[in-house]
Amino acid sequence: MHSETVAQWQLENDLRQAIANQEFELYYQPIINLKRDRLAGFEALVRWISPTRGFVSPGEFVPLAEATGLIIPLGDWILRTACQQMYQWHQQFTPQPGLTVSINLSSHQFSPDLVQQVEQILAETKLNAQFLKLEITESAMMDNVEKAIALLHQLKALGIKLSIDDFGTGYSSLSYLQQFGADTIKVDQSFVRQMEQSDKNKAIVDIIITLAQKLDMDVIAEGIETENHQHILKALNCEYGQGYFFAKPLKSEDATKLLAQQFSADHVDNSI
């Protein structure tokens, strides 16, 4: 127990130094329009490359950041960096209709200060609010539902989009779903990956897709790893998807190359 405590203490110290020294990097996982087979946006994912530890798994340092409150400065850096990157992409390739960057929010960031923080970062980075999407889990909103709903509507008033992440694995009541004012539901990867082995999981995915469409919301399926996953989701009329079948999270330069390829292909199609 002593050695574990010392190890956690050292990791926390290293994490504080990493935030001060900006040892983090954002990777961008493509989100694909399944109906049009084209890039629709990216989800920004943080990676820590420590000069002493090497690659540190997000599963190791993100929970620690949340437990210590370090998720607040780290989250601020993630939000600002992702917005700067998306602004650069829209400048480089001209505004791409519907191209958004999605950023995960911790429950610890879900406070009244968040609205002012987002508004300030959008102003500083000059990113149009419509190109930013914030992802929030169901459980993060259930501690105080009324306050959560009020905060979500304040965020919506800025012009940004909202997404409910890991839908179906949290604790929210369906009665709250429409009150949240979210634009998108993300189907959790645990359901998507089991569609081939379990008709029940496939039925759950089908129900979530239908529910989202009935509520006039977009739906994104996570964890697409095989061509069959893609075929099943297309048959279920799912609009968007992401997963290793399309691409792993990409460095910013590789994501830029992907955007350049699509931009070039669009120009070819328009000239024909």
Fold of 2-267: TIM Barrel (3.20.20)
Residue 43, strand partner residues: 29, 102
Domain boundaries, the chain: 2-267
Task: State the DSSP code for 131.
Answer: G
pLDDT value at residue 271? 43
What is the Cα 1 distance to its own chain's centre? 35
Question: Can you give the pLDDT at residue 272?
Answer: 42
Which H or E element spans position 9?
helix 2-21
> Residues in the chain with pLDDT < 50?
271-272
User: For the segment 42-78, what is each residue's pLDDT rounded down to a tens digit?
Assistant: 999 999 999 999 999 999 999 999 999 999 999 999 9
Q: What is the pLDDT, as a whole number, of residue 95?
A: 65
Q: Looking at the whole model, is its pTM more than 0.85?
A: yes
Contacts by residues 62-65 (CB-CB < 8 Å, ≥ 24 positions apart): 62/106, 64/8, 64/11, 64/12, 64/15, 65/15, 65/106
Contacts (Cβ under 8 Å, ≥6 apart) of 37 = none
Look-up of token digits 């993630």: 78
Strand partners, 185: 164, 219
The CA distance from 168 to 195, in Å, is 15
Contact 182, 222 (CB under 8 A): no
**Which tokens sit at 59?**
């599963």
**Cβ pair 166, 199 in contact under 8 A:** no
Which pLDDT value is given to residue 5? 73
Dihedral, 103, 107, 108, 114 alpha carbons, nearest 10: 60
Strand 218-221 with 161-167, pairing = unpaired
DSSP per-residue string spanning 68-101: HTTHHHHHHHHHHHHHHHHHHHHHHS-PPTT-EE
